[in-house]
Structure 1
Amino acid sequence: MDLHPILRHAMEAFNEQGYHGTSVRGIAARVGVTVPAIYYHYANKQALLATLLETSMKDVLDRSRAASAQAGEDPLARFRSMVESIVLYMANRKGLAFLDTEIRSLEPANRARYVALRDYLEHMLLDTVRAGIAEGVFTTPIPEDAVRAVLVMCQGVANWYRPDGPLAPAEIAGRQVLLSLGTVGYRGPATG
């Protein structure tokens, strides 16, 4: 996903300095435009943050839906595919994914929109886990908590993954899938 230069520079500034430590003037200087040019495209700094967070969450949702559809009806295959797609997003779109830490800076209406998107992702994964429980594939007695734990673990990849680290994104995704399977009480073979 290619971000407009204004959004890309805003994302970098928010990640480096935090939302409250970033000014529209600073973003404009990074982009090489005037402050009014920023305001021509975005009403204010809050609009920049909200756009970035919603763009990120919609991308994760699209990838998760595609992974689920490609995996078919089998809950185990769907779960594996969705977790893998989320982790790969967190590693490959680290700058956007890391911004999730700034949801505390969203104004109430923007926060509500973002949380609704995040909740949709959680429910997609929860429906898959419940289907797996019904089929005897997953054994967790607390599917809601297990899904939240899986999502927090996946989101955490954006905090610690480094492109120059010892593991490639696909290897990290494989490991996170294994950890996630344990979290939902999968007792079958580790691969497959």
Structure 2
Amino acid sequence: MELQHEGGLLGRDQASLTSEEQILRAALECFVAKGYHGTTIRSIAAQCGLSVPGLYHHFASKAALLERLIDDTMDDLLATTEDALARADGGPLERFDAVVRAHVRFHCERPEESFIGNSELRSLSPPARKRTVAKRDRQQRIFDGVVHDGLAAGLFRVPVDREASRAIVTMCTAVATWYRRSGPMSPDEIVAIYNQLARNVVRGGEASTAHRDGFRPVAKSANR
């Protein structure tokens, strides 16, 4: 996976990071490059310029690093989405748009953390995996709620609301797997496109609203 450097640990000035954050950044870079099982504590220590005992002073194990990375990412995603929902002005459609946009932008800005969270979920200990799944369920419930509210208000027409909600979350999360900042579209454009796609799911494919809402198709559909 190509490393990208906006948002999250990789988007911050390394000099501003605490010692723990520098270790987490090094672990993230190593996990992305070699996978969790292909990474050693020694390679993480070398990446951040520490001795192995120096690293162990901050984190007890490689597993603890993975758990912290995934926990922090999910906590930030939840906080970002809940904040967007709380700040949304207007009715159910505006709240729906707010959470979709927040989710997509997060995955544009922090694809490395998303990649590790999805690819290494199986590497977590059972308690950590259970905790992560509970956080994912909480994020899903936010989407379930805004879709339900749109249906109750008569704005959405999808006959299977929970399946539609899951499909939207899956679609928006997948942005992290292909988005590249060197591609033809900015995060703002990706957010607008996926917001419209999500609306189409819940409003019965009202593609004709795209131009009315200011969405302009682009020649390429992925930042590859």
One fold, TM greater than 0.5?
Answer: yes
Give the RMSD, CA atoms, in angstroms: 1.6
Q: Deviations over 1:72-130 (max 9, x none)?
A: 45111011111111111111112212212211111110001111111101001101100
**TM-score in terms of structure 2 length:** 0.81
* Pairs within 5 Å for 1:160-171: 160-171=178-189
Q: Letter of the 2:63 partner, please give it.
A: Q
Q: Quick one: distance in 1 between partners of 2:92 and 2:60?
A: 43
- The corresponding residue for 2:24 is 7
Q: Is residue 2:69 matched to residue 1:52?
A: yes
Pairing partner for 2:139 from 121, 137, 149: 121
Q: Quick one: distance in 1 between partners of 2:67 and 2:165?
A: 25
Q: Displacement, 1:39?
A: 1.5
Q: Quick one: distance in 1 between partners of 2:65 and 2:40?
A: 11
Q: Letter of the 2:81 partner, please give it.
A: S
- The corresponding residue for 2:104 is 87
* Pairs within 5 Å for 1:1-192: 1-2=8-9, 4-72=21-89, 74-100=91-117, 101-185=119-203, 187=206, 189-190=209-210, 191=213
Name structure 1 gaps, 5 residues minimum: none
Q: Deviations over 1:105-163 (max 9, x none)?
A: 11110001111111101001101100110011111111111111111111111110101
Q: Which structure has the highest helix share of the two?
A: 1
Q: Displacement, 1:13?
A: 0.7
Q: Quick one: distance in 2 between partners of 1:115 and 1:37?
A: 32
Q: Quick one: distance in 2 between partners of 1:62 and 1:95?
A: 18
Count the aligned residue pairs: 192
Name structure 2 gaps, 5 residues minimum: 1-7, 10-16, 215-224
Q: Letter of the 1:12 partner, please give it.
A: E
Q: Displacement, 1:185?
A: 2.7
Q: Displacement, 1:41?
A: 1.1
Q: Quick one: distance in 2 between partners of 1:75 and 1:40?
A: 49
Q: Quick one: distance in 2 between partners of 1:149 and 1:83?
A: 12
**Which moves more between the two structures, 29-38 or 69-78?**
69-78
Q: Letter of the 1:75 partner, please give it.
A: P
User: What secondary structure is seen at the aligned counterpart in 1 of 2:209?
Assistant: coil
Q: Quick one: distance in 1 between partners of 2:37 and 2:176?
A: 21
Higher relative contact order (CA 8 A, sep 6+): 1
Larger Rg: 2
